[in-house]
Amino acid sequence: MRDPLKSDICAVYLRAVAEPDRLRIIQCLRSGPKSVGEIAELLETAFANVSHHLKFLRSARLVTTAKRGRHVMYSLAAEFARPQAGGGLLDVLDFGCCRIELTQKQGKAAGGAKPATTPRQRSNER
């Protein structure tokens, strides 16, 4: 069977972003390169956790690195990053097999759907 989605490769990308902290790191990198320390400070999380997740994102080739003095700067890989037409923040990660919209309209999830609720929220709504 032909595999136009290149499922093996796509699964690597999806596995890399299937963790909330890694998605938060991607959100941080939308505005440009940052060091591990800068990301940890923005996310208010441990340096070691950020470093671990960046290693995972780097192995999936979703982020790239560049040395700046003593610091390693992390950026979203250019082949996946699609900035907004006006040149603002990155708004889409395009893997070819699928894409993740990084923007969210107020009160609605990307794509116009209602924001997801947790099982606890649903049980409280009844």
> CA–CA separation, 58 vs 16, rounded Å?
9
Predicted model pTM: 0.72
* Statement: 7-125 belongs to CATH 3.20.20.70: no
Domain ranges of the chain: 7-125
Per residue in 64-120, pLDDT (tens digit) is: 999 999 999 999 998 877 665 665 666 788 888 888 887 755 444 434 333 443 344
CA distances from 39 to 78, 86, 87, 91, 124 (A): 19, 25, 22, 19, 35
> CA–CA separation, 26 vs 29, rounded Å?
5
> CA–CA separation, 52 vs 84, rounded Å?
29
> CA–CA separation, 102 vs 106, rounded Å?
13
